[in-house]
Amino acid sequence: MAKSLFEKVWAAHAVRTLANGQTQLLIGTHLIHEVTSPQAFGMLRDLGLKVAMPHRTFATVDHIVPTDQLVEPYRDPLAQAMMEELRRNCAQSGITFFDRASGKQGIVHIVGPEQGITQPGTTIACGDSHTSTHGAFGAVAFGIGTTQIRDVLATQTMALGKLKVRRINVRGSLRPGVYAKDVILHIIRVLGVNGGTGYAYEYGGEVFDRFSMEERMTVCNMSIEGGARAGYVNPDQTTFDYLRGRPYSPQGAAWDAAVERWRGFASDPGCSYDDVVTIEAADIAPTVTWGINPGQGIAITESIPDPARATAADERSSIEEALAYMKLRPGAAIKGTRIDVAFIGSCTNGRLSDFREVARHVRGRRVAPGVKAIAVPGSQIVALQCEKEGIDQVLRDAGFEWRAAGCSMCLAMNPDKLIGDQLCASSSNRNFKGRQGSPTGRTLLMSPLMVAAAAVTGTVADAREVFAVNS
């Protein structure tokens, strides 16, 4: 019988059925970082347990690292304490730690793929909701809580109920100046921030067939913003080409066998899905959020919603709440809204292709006066490659600050934060109240090139006009 990738991966990793009907699922690859793992190691110690398969857990440090200070001790003693706790836990348990000294440190969802640790047909868990990123490789990847991190450390498994699968086809071709980020913001806008509850999203169609791995990662990354715990793309030649030769990729004869095995995990033609949604690529525009959740997005050419025109009471109150927080005027054009900060980075859009695209268009331009613009590579390897290609210099010349790798201003667990009610054009993934570190700070989510357009004009702008994008 034809099966989806999700079903095949689930079946290959199901250990047994637990008393409450959930599955004990083998987690092939476990990724950890400094924020959500220390308590899990503490629980393990309290229970007198050891890490079951230390060679299947990989660590890096990303959320708390300052992007403007490389040398420890960090100015923030709490950040330093978390750093040391992770280092100690990894050393005691024999877990590989990609720290800054390794040259491989970065945001956990960038490091895994970069190292070839993220592979098709595997199960991956990490104490971070953006773990769905790894689904870009045809892995089934879950964000988990700290108690589940304990479970995975102790048993290399966790208890989980099976998800349904929604196939999302994006058909046709994207228009010039429309990026992977716009695709996922559009999908979330259409299906809602909780539309994916209970589902894994399988992304496919011509747009995904043509997408690079980095573009696929951007989309899968934000599955959770649509309520889907996991999101994936079936593995294909693009996937294998990306993985070939990476440090943890199989080598030699094992490579050929692996590719053969990986192909077998792709969803079979004619397999059934619990739901199918089709989206026309031509309907997707450069998208910007105006509210306080990632589903509150509009095309750059649209106006900010007016609660008076809402059809349901619920919709009206959510628009009102969002506009009151965002201090935006109902019915006004989003284009032209003044910004204070521009942030390019994060596990959504902090990869080489993001910086290449921005640099290509920003070359010779200047960040508008009064705008603080920061560019933060997602990993040390991304940083190094950008520096080799002169991308860092292009961005610096334009007036961006070029920082060291980390989560930076996506979530404000490090010194990169908004101040007061600053408005930030951001390539990150969440525009929740206070997300970027100030309880009154405001976030507009958009693609990296749209952030660059906002940076150079000082206002929310249409990158297609600012940079004359037509191909």
Partner 1 sequence: MALEKITAVTGRAVCVPGNDIDTDRIIPARFMKCVTFDGLGEFLFHDVRKNAEGADLPHPLNDPRFRGATILLSGANFGCGSSREHAPQAIQKYGFRAVVAESFAEIFFGNCTTLGIPCAAAARADIARLAAAIEADPALAVTLDVAAGEIRFGGQAIPAEVRPAARDALIHGRWDAIGELLEGLPAVQALATRTTYLAA
Query: Are 32 and 61 in contact, with CB atoms under 8 Å apart?
Result: no
- Least gap, CB of 391 to partner 1 (angstroms): 29
Nearer of residues 17 and 278 to partner 1, judged by Cβ: 17
Query: Are 13 and 26 in contact, with CB atoms under 8 Å apart?
Result: yes
- Least gap, CB of 172 to partner 1 (angstroms): 31
- Least gap, CB of 214 to partner 1 (angstroms): 23
Cα–Cα distance measured from residue 324 to residue 442, given in angstroms and rounded to the nearest whole number: 11
- Least gap, CB of 167 to partner 1 (angstroms): 19
User: In which residue are the tokens 């956990």 written?
Assistant: 108
- Least gap, CB of 107 to partner 1 (angstroms): 14
Nearer of residues 254 and 468 to partner 1, judged by Cβ: 254
Cα–Cα distance measured from residue 267 to residue 58, given in angstroms and rounded to the nearest whole number: 28
Nearer of residues 129 and 353 to partner 1, judged by Cβ: 129
Nearer of residues 157 and 379 to partner 1, judged by Cβ: 157
- Least gap, CB of 175 to partner 1 (angstroms): 30
Nearer of residues 119 and 422 to partner 1, judged by Cβ: 119
Nearer of residues 326 and 412 to partner 1, judged by Cβ: 412
Nearer of residues 134 and 361 to partner 1, judged by Cβ: 134
Q: Smallest Cα–Cα separation from 454: which of 359, 357, 372?
A: 372
- Least gap, CB of 382 to partner 1 (angstroms): 23
- End-to-end CA distance of the chain: give it in Å, rounded: 43
Cα–Cα distance measured from residue 387 to residue 319, given in angstroms and rounded to the nearest whole number: 43
- Least gap, CB of 255 to partner 1 (angstroms): 12
DSSP letter (8 states) at residue 73: S
DSSP letter (8 states) at residue 338: B
Nearer of residues 298 and 411 to partner 1, judged by Cβ: 411
Nearer of residues 127 and 205 to partner 1, judged by Cβ: 127
- Least gap, CB of 86 to partner 1 (angstroms): 9
DSSP letter (8 states) at residue 280: E
396-399 contacts at long range (C-beta below 8 A, 24 or more positions apart): 398/362, 398/363, 398/364, 398/365, 398/366, 398/367, 398/373, 398/455, 398/456, 399/366, 399/367, 399/373, 399/455
Nearer of residues 48 and 176 to partner 1, judged by Cβ: 48
Cα–Cα distance measured from residue 319 to residue 148, given in angstroms and rounded to the nearest whole number: 35
Query: Are 182 and 146 in contact, with CB atoms under 8 Å apart?
Result: no
* β-strands 297-299, 287-289 pairing: antiparallel
- Least gap, CB of 173 to partner 1 (angstroms): 32
Tokens of 385: 């490659």
Q: Smallest Cα–Cα separation from 277: which of 204, 342, 345, 335?
A: 204
DSSP H or E stretch at residue 92: helix 77-93
Nearer of residues 36 and 169 to partner 1, judged by Cβ: 36
Query: Are 431 and 449 in contact, with CB atoms under 8 Å apart?
Result: no
Cα–Cα distance measured from residue 461 to residue 441, given in angstroms and rounded to the nearest whole number: 20
DSSP-assigned states of every residue in 454-470: HHHHSB---HHHHTT--
* Half-sphere exposure (Cβ direction) of 179: Cα atoms closer than 13 Å: 26
